[in-house]
Chain A
Amino acid sequence: GDSVTQMEGPVTLSEEAFLTINCTYTATGYPSLFWYVQYPGEGLQLLLKATKADDKGSNKGFEATYRKETTSFHLEKGSVQVSDSAVYFCALSNTGKLIFGQGTTLQVKP
């Protein structure tokens, strides 16, 4: 079945460091890909999405490119802030139903 694999955390960075969180997927067909962010005690917020190969999703300085050849959707940000500390989930959807990775905790220290 369809699945998503994310790099394990936690990821600890200093403020202004470069961020990469790896995400790879297995799916039939051509799924849409997403990154969601979850702050402590809260629900999930959509961070960015891409619906077809080579699309780049971007929001709030975060970017991810849909790479069909490597079945990847890695999340990047050039300069992280303390306020970016959260759990990040990669997800895919073929039919509206979302399939999530296990999440990666990001801690940014001042």
Chain B
Amino acid sequence: EAEVAQSPRYKITEKSQAVAFWCDPISGHATLYWYRQILGQGPELLVQFQDESVVDDSQLPKDRFSAERLKGVDSTLKIQPAELGDSAMYLCASSFRRLDTEAFFGQGTRLTVV
């Protein structure tokens, strides 16, 4: 069964360091999402891609976060510099089309900033 792949599963980094997460969506899925889930809360959208284009990054803290999906397939989310408040689960999801009613989630990357 096709899955959304994310790596690493866990990451511990020191405050002010750079950190990057990778996501490989289900083959053929044009829409890719990055969500952040703070412990005890629901996920919140950081950025949405349609193929290689950003269609929504209104909640992305652009002073420190960046995201790219250069060839419209896999994607990287970067934080530089990391802050203590960035500790969270970072979830990637994909769907076949932008307005599809079902998104498939990866297992997430648990980030701890110390």
Contact = CB atoms under 8 A, between A and B. Distances in A.
**SS of A interface (majority):** strand
Interface string A83-99: 00000010101011111
Given A42-B107, A42-B108, A44-B91, A49 B102 contact: yes
A73 interface: no
A43 B106 contact: yes
B105 A96 contact: no
Interface of A: 4, 32, 34, 36, 41-46, 49, 51, 89, 91, 93, 95-103
Nearest to B45: A97
Interface string B19-57: 000000000000101010000111111001000000010
B101 A49 contact: yes
Contacts of A44: 43, 91, 93, 105
Contact of A96 (B4, B31, B110): B31
Given A43-B106, A97-B56, A98-B103, 20 more contacts: A4-B42, A36-B105, A41-B110, A42-B107, A42-B108, A43-B6, A43-B107, A43-B108, A44-B91, A44-B105, A45-B105, A51-B101, A89-B43, A96-B31, A96-B48, A97-B45, A98-B35, A98-B45, A100-B44, A102-B42
Contacts of A51: 101
Given A43-B91, A49-B101, A98 B43 contact: yes
A33 B82 CA distance: 34
Interface of B: 4, 6, 31, 33, 35, 40-45, 48, 56, 91, 93, 95, 97-108, 110
A32 B105 contact: no
Contacts of B33: 97-98
Nearest to B56: A97
Contacts of A100: 42-44
A72 B91 CA distance: 26
